[in-house]
Structure 1
Amino acid sequence: MKKLKVSFMIIFVFIILIYSNNSIFGQENIDLYPVFKEINGEKSWGYIDKEGSYVIEPRFKYAQDFQDNGLAIVETEQLLYGVIDKTGKYIVEPKFQYICSFKEGITIAEDKRGYNAINEKGELIFQSDDYISDFNEGKAAFSKSGQSLIGYINKSGKVIIPLQYQWHKYIDDFQTGKVLVKIDKDTYLLINENNQVLEILNYKYLGARNEGFITFRDKVNGKLGYIDEQGNILVEAKFSDAYPFKNGLAIVNGAEDTWEREYGVIDTTGNFILKPQYNDIKNLGQGLLAVGVAIDEIVNSQGSVYALVNHQGEFITDFKYYSLSDFNNGLASVSDRRYTFFIDETGNKVRDLPIVEGIGELSLTGSLIKAEIDDRLSYLTKSSNIVWEESRDRNLGNIYTIVEKKYRPNPTVLIYYPKLIGIEDNKIERRVNNRLKNIAIGNFIDINFDEDLYYDYQAEFEIEFYNKSLLVLEFSSYEYPFGAAHGMPSLDYLHIDLKSGEFYNLSDLFKANSDYVSIITKLIKEEIESQGEDSMIWLDEYQGIEGNQNFILGEEALSIYFYPYQIAPYSEGFPTFKIPYTKLDNIINKSGELWNSFN
């Protein structure tokens, strides 16, 4: 009988441990997932459970995943950050400009005063006006403005190493009770938490430290190599780039210059397990690497296609994946450009988990699988059932619906365009939708899926304005030529009458023979001149508007906009000038179709 009672107690304790939110490991299994609703044209974020029901109603501008401690960082409509628990209660009030993820039970939050170290109870433990790093081994670096010096604190906020060491590119974390600091341009120290000097290291440059290896340069702008923590050279300085050791391996660039790509992998003796000949290499964890060759050898900035390789340098798969995530619990998310799915450590496709059409990433999150595919979010069960998916479909009153359609003719082209439903005349509806589709995808009809393009192109649409029968759609796109300093955005506003199917031009707003071009040109010039010396507009480049100028109609004003570089630098985006209708009252055709479509 006693033996039976003991066995029952063991089973009972075991069950308690399993269902206690993994608390013995300091983690909670929080089955809450951030999703959003469209409210008045804006995303409002909340959290659903694994069944898809709201547990925390949408009220945030943005909501991050819950962390293992059962807390989540959220952003309010006032663009301030706070931290909530799984009931939605604020643990850290939303008054910060930014909040980092918790590490070792502490988050770093930034406000106008500087940086704040806050624990999981929401208690402030330390404040610095300049900088606080993440905690590692219970310690964090900090600095004060105007001093360019580094010190260290512990988790109670006590200064254990005062501000006395120089600021440098790689602020080191404590590892195995030691930290690397700099005292002058050629001298670094390895110290312990009591600020006792363990080693003096005389080098022009020391960088990242991990697993007992430190990257170094022995001359200014020289090549990189590795030393140990006693200052002994273990791998000669011969690389244009050298990453920290991880699990006994380091990724290095053997090219002459950093902009060239000849990546390889060395072991702790400096011997290559993968020769420096690859376009990209990533350490995926769990003893595996993603090794990439250029998609196009001439334009290597186009990206890489990867193979899976083990830490012995043995190829597990061919070069066939265009993205690979880190391995987690024996699984990694990969994309072959047509589908996204999981593979195991042998490189085999996991067929009993979701295989999703499109390009992106899957991740196991609590009981569900988070799918971020083709710039859209969804949550799936492990058997591929949809629990929640992002929808950009819109209802306009009780009459019209705008359905989002996707067009991906090539891995580097992704277009979302609208389809209108509810126009009374079916012929008009077809004509409107054909024109919308042609505007969106007309230039890409003849592109083949396997064709190598030398640019990335993405396009979206939004509802800018709707009243009575006038719908104003914003159609935005961004084209990035591979290797360019930046891409080029495009922005078009389509003014559509949902009754007649008419697509309006700027001239349709004004009376016939009115000199609206000269009048608007003058109004914009006056506004530019009123901005004075602070204006970023190139007044000399401003030659006025054209008859078919880009425009946006709103409830109370007409807006005129220009493309980047037309009258201002690229950094100014699309310079826009808002002109109230009252200033144009004498020339607006108030008996015209366009005016009456929204008035």
Structure 2
Amino acid sequence: MNRFIRSLICILLIFALSLNLFACGRIVETSEDDEMEEEETRSKENNTRKDDVNIINGDDDPVVVPDPAEDGQEAIFLQPYARVEDGRIVYGYADPSGNIVIEPVFLDAQPFFKCGLAIVTDVNGKMGLIDKTGKYVVDPEWNDVSYSDGVFICYTYDGRYSNVYDEKGTFLFMFNGYASKMTEGYVQCYDRDNRGYIDMNGNLAIRRDGDGAMGDFVDGIAAVADKYLGPAYFIDKNGNDLTNSVSSGLRMYKDEESGLFGYKNEKGEIVIPAAFSDATPFLNGYAIVNVSEDYYYMKYGVIDTSGKFLLEPEHCGYTRLSNGLVALGEKVSADVFLPYDYYSFSRKALFTSDFSKSTDWIYYDVTDFDSENACVYDGENTYFLDRNLYSTGDLPILRGKGSFYPDNDLLRGEYNGKLTVLDRKGAVISQASGNVDLGGGIVAGKQVKILTPAAKIAYPALTGMKDKSLQDRINSLIVDEMLKPYEQLATFYGPEDTTYVDSDYSLSRKKDLLMIDQSLYSYYLGAAHGNGFRNTVYIDIATGVQYGIKDLFREDDREIWNLLSARVTADLRANEEIGYFVDSLEITPDSFFALYEDSIGFYYGQDEIAGYAAGIVEFKVPFSEIYDHIDTEGAFWKSFN
């Protein structure tokens, strides 16, 4: 493990800059005194309401799924259930009492939607839709299945087309290309011959020629551009240009010589000269603009129709939300290098559509919920704000990090790293918990540690073992191997020193051997690319002993290391086109390895022995070639044979 961590740190240090603690700004509200007094009263009422709602525990302990309230939709109360069969995890569904309702035959199973359908992945890795009996209503032949606006959109790489189904699984229409969601009854289609917006009947309702961007419809309008990276304007659901009605008669234009944006009036006269590298059409009398010429020094601000700055251009990004609110990223110094993706993790403030009111700079995550509410995460709790920045009375306050969208009268989304379905009071109805039944009453419960707004680590914790002391030792060992080594990687010190970290794992059990295969991705913001890593952990759950590769072979066998080294070196040299940095490899008792049904693999992280494009490199050696060297009477071999 030490070599593994050293290699991680070395890669990150290549991109590291000076470590400056970044301070966040704060905007003073511009509402009138009586509005502020009213808001203060409402805030007190909302704070009082926190004591009355169900605030779900977001700590490291597994979420306990409560008994669901009765509402006649028993399918949504089925819980995804996983167990180990033949060395791999398979998924099915169980009722709240733990009784298997749909046998585990899937590679993945998501919580049921309110309509009674669920997205599953079959043994071939293809996705489909099943009903509450486990019967396919949409056959598993898709690479992606998503839900939005009351429909399921299924996409296949083969043929590059999408089918759309209603909430009963009935086919509605097909279109060429991919779309992640439908909004307000329209889906974007980028097919060359039918480019534009398709309606719920599958008709091309709005044709859009050219190669310009097409935005989602929000409150009946969408931002579009005629050319790639060209000036944008708003249209309605009939495709009509709304510049005069919603953009104060000011149309964006692009200066061909400088490539910058400005604004002209109806007569084509320049009202606001081209001075912005990025800009939005005017809406509600304001536009968001970027004054930076360098993409890595983004400086966004808000201007009025005269070009005067209402909010100075010193913010790291923006988001327009469906309920009319606008999110602006934290202030950044003019000379600070600003990775373009830092905004996603920065502190943000929310503004009303007319910019008369705002919040403090306290939100790390801000997403659309519906046309009335936004979902926000302030570093401690997740909750919902309406278009006037008031906490929504009929939606819950949740402890921890979440991002939700409506599923009829339910809430669905990622909550503390797990796909979760909640009712409007905040009670968990169903969750893809990641818990795996290992047999013998032992369950590997998935834990997700949120290290920073940009970093999270997943790892298992065992429950159900008869020997609680042994169970505690094994869980401590897992934490030492899968969590603690990476905590130091999760820097979060402003745009100049923030690291995105994400991990997941798969596991299985064979006899007494618990086999955990952890994958981790780390990206130092601003670097050319991130790096993927792998970490395998093998623990005997009967004894709590962690095994290394040396435990597989006879203790007095010195020849095995030369044999393994020669074998993987031969494979390396046989694939010179990969462009390895080395011409030989040495296998030692400290080498990283993975066990397979009939072989052992030795793996290396990205950029360790080959270029980034090569990915994680692995060399496999069949057991048949080294069987005479294996200690078949040893504890490691016997733990899984």
Partner of 1:20: none
Q: Which amino acid aligns with 2:525?
A: F
Mapping 1:49-128, distance limit 5 Å? 61=108, 76-80=122-126, 94-97=140-143, 109-110=155-156, 112-115=158-161, 122=171
Partner of 1:11: none
Give the one of 421, 430, 437 matched to 1:388: 430
The alpha-carbon deviation at position 295 of structure 1 amounts to 8.0
Structure 2 unmatched runs, 5+: 1-71
Quick check: 332-341 or 172-181, which moved more?
172-181
Q: Which amino acid aligns with 2:171?
A: G
The alpha-carbon deviation at position 240 of structure 1 amounts to 0.8
SS where residue 585 of structure 1 aligns?
Answer: helix
- The answer as to 2:418 corresponding to 1:418 is no
Paired with 1:287 and 1:177, the residues of 2 have a C-alpha distance of 13
CA contact (8 A) 2:490 2:500 kept: no
CA contact (8 A) 1:241 1:258 kept: no
- When Rg is computed on C-alpha atoms for both structures, the one with the higher figure is 1
Mapping 1:324-363, distance limit 5 Å? 324-326=366-368, 328=370, 330-350=372-392, 353-363=395-405
Mapping 1:266-415, distance limit 5 Å? 266-268=303-305, 270-294=307-331, 298=336, 300-301=338-339, 302=342, 303-326=345-368, 328=370, 330-350=372-392, 353-398=395-440, 400-408=442-450, 410-415=452-457
Deviation by residue 1:314-339 (Cα, 9 ceiling, x = unmatched): 23322222222236353322111011
Deviation by residue 1:112-170 (Cα, 9 ceiling, x = unmatched): 345467686636677x6999x999999987656xxxx88779879999999xx985344
Give the one of 516, 525, 528 matched to 1:482: 525
Paired with 2:410 and 2:177, the residues of 1 have a C-alpha distance of 41
Mapping 1:148-163, distance limit 5 Å? none
Give the one of 469, 477, 487 matched to 2:512: 469
Paired with 1:32 and 1:232, the residues of 2 have a C-alpha distance of 61
Deviation by residue 1:325-367 (Cα, 9 ceiling, x = unmatched): 2363533221110111223344344466422222222444323
- The answer as to 2:621 corresponding to 1:550 is no
Paired with 1:510 and 1:32, the residues of 2 have a C-alpha distance of 50
Quick check: 29-38 or 569-578, which moved more?
29-38
SS where residue 485 of structure 1 aligns?
Answer: coil
- The answer as to 2:558 corresponding to 1:514 is yes
Deviation by residue 1:152-204 (Cα, 9 ceiling, x = unmatched): 79879999999xx985344799999999767x999x9xx9x9x9xx99xxxxx
Q: Which amino acid aligns with 1:258?
A: Y
CA change 1:89–1:582 in 2 (3 A) is: closer
- The answer as to 2:291 corresponding to 1:243 is no
The alpha-carbon deviation at position 375 of structure 1 amounts to 1.1
Paired with 1:258 and 1:35, the residues of 2 have a C-alpha distance of 45
Paired with 1:48 and 1:235, the residues of 2 have a C-alpha distance of 62
Give the one of 272, 295, 304 matched to 1:258: 295
Paired with 1:185 and 1:410, the residues of 2 have a C-alpha distance of 34
The alpha-carbon deviation at position 312 of structure 1 amounts to 3.0
Structure 1 unmatched runs, 5+: 1-28, 200-208
Q: What TM-score comes out, normalization by structure 1 length?
A: 0.72
Partner of 1:527: 571
Cα RMSD for the two superposed structures: 5.3
How many matched pairs?
A: 546
- The answer as to 2:80 corresponding to 1:36 is yes
CA change 1:54–1:551 in 2 (3 A) is: closer
CA change 1:351–1:125 in 2 (3 A) is: closer
SS where residue 436 of structure 1 aligns?
Answer: helix
Paired with 2:492 and 2:171, the residues of 1 have a C-alpha distance of 52
CA change 1:142–1:312 in 2 (3 A) is: closer
Partner of 2:498: 454
SS where residue 571 of structure 1 aligns?
Answer: helix
The alpha-carbon deviation at position 384 of structure 1 amounts to 2.9
CA change 1:445–1:114 in 2 (3 A) is: closer
Deviation by residue 1:382-426 (Cα, 9 ceiling, x = unmatched): 333332234333332215443444544554543333334466665
CA change 1:242–1:473 in 2 (3 A) is: same
Paired with 2:485 and 2:288, the residues of 1 have a C-alpha distance of 41
Partner of 2:9: none
CA contact (8 A) 1:110 1:116 kept: yes
The alpha-carbon deviation at position 550 of structure 1 amounts to 0.4
Quick check: 552-561 or 474-483, which moved more?
474-483
CA change 1:96–1:492 in 2 (3 A) is: closer
Pick 1 or 2: higher relative contact order, CA cutoff 8 A, min separation 6. 2
Partner of 1:570: 612
The alpha-carbon deviation at position 88 of structure 1 amounts to 8.0
Q: Which amino acid aligns with 1:568?
A: A
The alpha-carbon deviation at position 549 of structure 1 amounts to 0.7
CA change 1:53–1:273 in 2 (3 A) is: farther
Paired with 2:185 and 2:484, the residues of 1 have a C-alpha distance of 57
Q: Which amino acid aligns with 2:289?
A: V
Paired with 2:222 and 2:468, the residues of 1 have a C-alpha distance of 74
Quick check: 543-552 or 387-396, which moved more?
387-396
Percent identical among aligned pairs is 26
Paired with 1:415 and 1:91, the residues of 2 have a C-alpha distance of 35
Paired with 1:341 and 1:139, the residues of 2 have a C-alpha distance of 28
Q: Which amino acid aligns with 2:552?
A: L
More strand by share: 1
Give the one of 548, 571, 577 matched to 1:505: 548
